[in-house]
Structures are given as structure tokens and as C-alpha cells.
Amino acid sequence: MIDPTARCPEWLIDRIINSGGSISFYKYMDLVLNDPENGFYSTGRLNIGKDGDFCTSPSLGNDFARLLAIQVVDWFLDLEKSGIESELFSLVEVGPGEGTLSRDLAIAIAEIAPALISKIEFVLVELNVGMRKRQEKVVNNFKGIYCRWCDLEDLISRPVTGVVIANEALDAFPVERLIFTGNKVFRQGVALRKINDEYFLEFVDLKPTSVIMKFLQESNSLLNIEFPPKDICDRWVTEWHCDLPTWFGKLSKVLSNGSLLVVDYAMESKRYYNANRKDGTLISYRNQKANTNILKDPGLSDLTAHLCIESTISYALINGWKFMGETRQGQALLALGLSSFLFSLQNTSSQDLSAALNRRESLLRLVDPMGLGEFRWLAFQKENSYDLILSNRFLEEPIS
Ligand SMILES: C[S@@+](CC[C@H](N)C(=O)[O-])C[C@H]1O[C@@H](n2cnc3c(N)ncnc32)[C@H](O)[C@@H]1O
């Protein structure tokens, strides 16, 4: 049945017709987010923040960056102490969105470790021109940051030492969707249906590629669970973050020494590849509203898919990384001292009350187990023969 809200815009009609009448869901997600002229990110049409399409942790104020900076400084100091030779350390942010996290990290690092900040360059890895323009305004306006934009290929030709952060970036990577019906598996595709001279989008079943079949064959050993799980319903749908192996592989060539922190929507494979999760994890966002109709408003809304924790870790391990540990964002931020930030608000004077209440609300949102607090922090260290021990304060028991 056609969904009347899944109207297809002109530009996408052309793309689908030129591709023979249907495209894979992977291609669809890539086009609606990253198509240079029409994608939600590439046009820079979307806005991140309370008044925008969706909120991320850095968009709620600078407390997220101030807490994360404590961990980042620890890692830089560990690198410095280890005697690793590097003229300049790099803080690489992948998928920087509005650029606020890098800016606020720079300010916080300068406060916590003034001697360190002049030894750090900020490197922003942004796929989409529209977002990059927005980041330039935010980051370049802040004096004292040495910042450059690069893609992973440029960085591979001149590797860096330091810290890589990907906050809510990997959930925007296009995914393959897989449909299980009878004893068969299909690759989900998107096609056009013309009704009364108007084009609508609909899902179709496509033949799975050899790469998808290989993933399915390897998944038992990779995820250590039966895949697909027992007792799934007919047309059970799930996702596969097929770009992650290549991404981890490239990133391991970017970083000579140091750490990588991935923060994102993520869940264990048992919850992810579960018979009860019959429609996968994909969701669309526009004007702060989540929508499970992922064919609605192509190019005008965000699409996001959760990560599977075990497969993300496995892909990192086989592509040059050591796993240091993972925890929920709520725990991580409490371990880094969020409760002391909350406590300090008690001393607010009456004229600052409104700002203090806003800040309190943002701090609580960062650790809310029904919201951002449920995000996962996954930390990795570049695999090499160097005897470097990185301390992970965010994994410690929260201080009360
Ligand atoms: C959800 S936003 C991230 C928001 C930001 N990190 C924050 O915390 O507010 C996703 C960002 O990743 C970028 N992006 C998507 N795919 C990318 C890729 N393959 N490499 C680099 N950036 C990418 C998007 O253009 C966008 O800036």
C-alpha cells in the first residue's frame, strides 16, 4: 500500500529513473542526506539544536564539551608523557555538525590545560559542503583555535597523533536494510509508483548482493548470536552498517598513535537483532519530531540508524584498533563530574536563575536514561607496537 505522505521530489524521480526504476535503501539514504545539491546535510538545510530539527549533546550548551574535555586532556597528557614524538597533536572530529563541539572543546581544553592548547590542532572531517560552511562560521570566529578541514584520504597521506571523536556521526552513515521472508533474504530497495500523475516512493525487494550474503554468513562468528534470530515474523527487517569496516580501516591509517571515541545511538546485538524488533532501528527527524515513516520528506529530514555494539567493536578490532571499553553516556558524564556541575548551580544568584534552570535542564537531559543518557561511548586505541597506556576516566565508577 502506498503511503500518501511519501511523495517523491523531482530530483529524486530523475535519480531513480536513471538507475533503472529502483535504488537500494543504502543509495536512498545516501542521496537524501548527502546528495550534493539536494541532500539534507549537503545543502546545510538542517539545523541542529533546540530550535532546529533535532538536538545533539553539544547543541544543549557547552557542558557536554567541558566534561568530555576532561577525558580528552587525559588522553593528550598520556600521549605527551609517553614520549611519542609529535610537533603538534591533533583533535580530529568526524561529522562535526554545527561545529560547536570542536569550538567548545577548544575553550574547555584551554581552561583545563592552558599549556596544552597551543600544541593541539583541530581537524574537522566533514563530508557535506553545506555543513562545512556552517562549521567555518562557528569555529573560525573563535580566535586561538588552529583548525583545518580535511577528508580521511588527505589525512592518510599525512597521519596524525592525537584523539579522534565521532559524536552522533556514524548513525548518519547509510545502511543496508535486509528483509527476511520465508527462508529468503532480500535487500530493501526504493522504487517509484505513479498515481494520478504524481510519483510516490515505495519499498521493493531486491536481490541481495554477494557482500550482503557474505555478511550474513559471517555474522554468527562476528556477532556470536544466531542471525537472523529465532521466531522472527514474516518480513522481519533489520539494518547493517556496511560502511563501518572501511571507515575503521581508513581511520586506523589516519592516526599513528592515540584514541578514538565513538558516541552514538547503539545497542547490544541481542536487542538489535531481536525477533521483537521487526522494523529495525531507522528513524527520521524533522522539526524535533521523530517519525518511523522513513520515506517521508526525502532531503528535508534526517535519517538515523542505531549501531550494533558488538559488530561495531568487531569491525574496529579487525581494522587496526584495540577496544578500551564502553559505557552509557549517563555513566560516562557522571564519572567525569557532571554531578559537581549540578551541585554548583545551588550557588546561583536570583538574577541568574533563569539561565541556571536552563543549564540544569540541559545537564539532566545529557544523562536522561530515556534520552541522551542512553547513548553509548565506545573507546578504542590505535593498535601498534608502541607501549602506550591511555587512562579512561569516563569508565570509572562515577564520583558522588
Ligand atoms: C548528526 S550530525 C552530527 C552532529 C555533531 N557531531 C553534533 O554532535 O552535534 C552528522 C554529521 O556528520 C556529517 N557526515 C555524515 N556522513 C559523514 C562522513 N562519511 N564523513 C564525515 N562527516 C559525515 C554530516 O554532514 C553531519 O555534519
Confidence (pLDDT) at 192: 96
Confidence (pLDDT) at 399: 65
Confidence (pLDDT) at 141: 64
Closest Cα to atom 27 of ligand 1: 97
Closest Cα to atom 19 of ligand 1: 127
Q: Which residues of 227-257 are buried (b: 16+ CB within 10 A; e: fewer)?
A: bbbeebeeebbbbbbbbbbebbbbbbbbbbb
Residue 330: is its pLDDT beyond 70? Answer: yes
Arithmetic mean of pLDDT over the chain: 93
| Greater pLDDT, 324 or 222 | 324
- Which run of H or of E encompasses 153? helix 152-157
Give the whole-angstrom CA distance, residue 213 versus residue 221: 14
Residue 171: is its pLDDT beyond 70? Answer: yes
Q: What is the pLDDT of residues 23-60, one digit of tens each?
A: 999 999 999 999 999 999 999 888 899 988 889 999 99
Residue 385: is its pLDDT beyond 70? Answer: no
Residue 157: is its pLDDT beyond 70? Answer: yes
Cα(42) to centroid of ligand 1, in Å?
10
Q: Provide mean pLDDT across the span 81-89.
A: 87
Q: Is the CB of 43 under 6 A from ligand 1?
A: no
Q: Is the CB of 335 under 6 A from ligand 1?
A: no
Q: What is the pLDDT of residues 176-210, one digit of tens each?
A: 999 999 989 999 999 999 999 999 999 999 999 99
Q: Is the CB of 94 under 6 A from ligand 1?
A: yes
Least Cα distance to 248 among 164, 122, 132 occurs for 164
Cα(41) to centroid of ligand 1, in Å?
8
Domain chopping of the chain, boundaries: 10-379
Q: CB-based contacts of 135: which residues, under 8 Å, 6+ apart? A: 96, 97, 98, 99, 102, 124, 126, 149
Q: What is the pLDDT of residues 275-291, one digit of tens each?
A: 999 999 999 999 989 99
Q: Is the CB of 101 under 6 A from ligand 1?
A: yes
Cα(343) to centroid of ligand 1, in Å?
33
Cα(390) to centroid of ligand 1, in Å?
26
Contact predicate 264/244, CB 8 Å: no
Residue 229: is its pLDDT beyond 70? Answer: yes
Q: What would the CATH number be for the domain defined by 10-379?
A: 3.40.50.12710
Give the whole-angstrom CA distance, residue 303 versus residue 25: 12
Closest Cα to atom 23 of ligand 1: 95
Confidence (pLDDT) at 16: 97
Long-range contacts of 290-294 (CB under 8 A, 24+ apart): 293/3, 293/5, 293/6
Confidence (pLDDT) at 400: 59
Question: Rounded to 5 degrees, what angle do the CA atoms 319, 238, 216 make?
Answer: 50
Closest Cα to atom 24 of ligand 1: 95
Least Cα distance to 380 among 275, 276, 251, 200 occurs for 251
Alpha carbon 168 to its chain's center:
3
Cα(126) to centroid of ligand 1, in Å?
7
Give the whole-angstrom CA distance, residue 327 versus residue 223: 19
Atom of ligand 1 nearest to the CA of 167: 6
Give the whole-angstrom CA distance, residue 47 versus residue 268: 30
Rounded to 10 deg, the angle between the 10-18 and 25-34 helix axes is 140
Report the percent of the chain where pLDDT is more than 90: 82
Q: What is the dihedral of CA 185, 190, 194, 198, to 10 degrees?
A: 150
Q: Is the CB of 97 under 6 A from ligand 1?
A: yes
